[in-house]
């Protein structure tokens, strides 16, 4: 199920709310892997937010938003492996992207292209060392203006 670039951009910018107002769990050292449902303010579109911390490499964090259950609109990867962009990519073709990066939906490429964070002017990063701050920055980027309390656990 492919989207046009205009559809994907519209879905990414669409204002979103959490379906469940319960706290978002965030661990500093333990693995995490959970999904939370979001919907558009008019409730016509549904989205899924994934929050994941690595099992073996717990420094790795991934925040991802999907539309229509399976289409990745945006994925922020922190402290994860480098990414190699496809040779025909419109952004840094055939280049390796090291360090924190964002995957954004691109027509004909889906989420296979990674962007360096400084090359995404709409994404404001307040503190790359704080997983919670990065989660808040990511939520703002994907159109969530209000979110539940982020509950810290050991």
Does a structural domain hold residue 151?
Answer: no
**Do the Cβ atoms of 138 and 24 come closer than 8 Å?**
no
pLDDT at 103 over 80: yes
Average pLDDT score, the chain: 95
In a domain, 152, yes or no: no
Residue 154: band (very low, low, confident or very high) from pLDDT cuts 50, 70, 90: low
* Cα gap 41→119, rounded to integer Å: 29
pLDDT of residue 28: 83
Q: What is the mean pLDDT of residues 69-86?
A: 96
In which residue are the tokens 């509950």 written?
151
Domain limits for position 61: 5-145
Residue 50 lies in a domain: yes
pLDDT value of position 56: 73
Is 154 within the bounds of a domain? no
Within-domain flag for 76: yes
DSSP 3-70: --HHHHHHHHHS-EEESS-SPEEEESSS-EEEEEEEEETTSS-EEEEEEEE-SSSTT-EEEEEEETTT
Q: pLDDT confidence of 153, banded at 50, 70, 90?
A: confident
Q: How many domains does the chain have?
A: 1
For 40-75, how does the pLDDT look when each residue is reduced to its tens digit (9 = 90+)?
999 999 999 999 998 777 789 999 999 999 999 999
């Amino acid at each position: 199920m492919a989207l046009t670039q205009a559809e994907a951009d519209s879905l990414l910018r669409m204002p979103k709310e959490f379906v469940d107002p319960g706290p978002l769990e965030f661990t500093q050292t333990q693995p995490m892997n959970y999904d939370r449902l979001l919907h558009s303010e008019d409730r016509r579109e549904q989205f899924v937010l994934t929050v994941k911390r690595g099992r073996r490499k717990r420094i790795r964090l991934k925040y991802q938003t999907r539309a229509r259950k399976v289409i990745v609109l945006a994925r922020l990867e922190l402290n994860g492996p480098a990414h190699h962009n496809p040779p025909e990519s419109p952004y840094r073709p055939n280049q390796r992207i090291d360090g924190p990066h964002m995957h954004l939906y691109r027509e004909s490429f889906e989420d296979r292209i990674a962007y360096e964070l400084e090359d995404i002017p709409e994404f404001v990063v307040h503190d790359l060392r704080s997983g919670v701050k990065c989660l808040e920055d990511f939520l703002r980027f994907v159109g969530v203006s209000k979110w539940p309390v982020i509950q810290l656990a050991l």
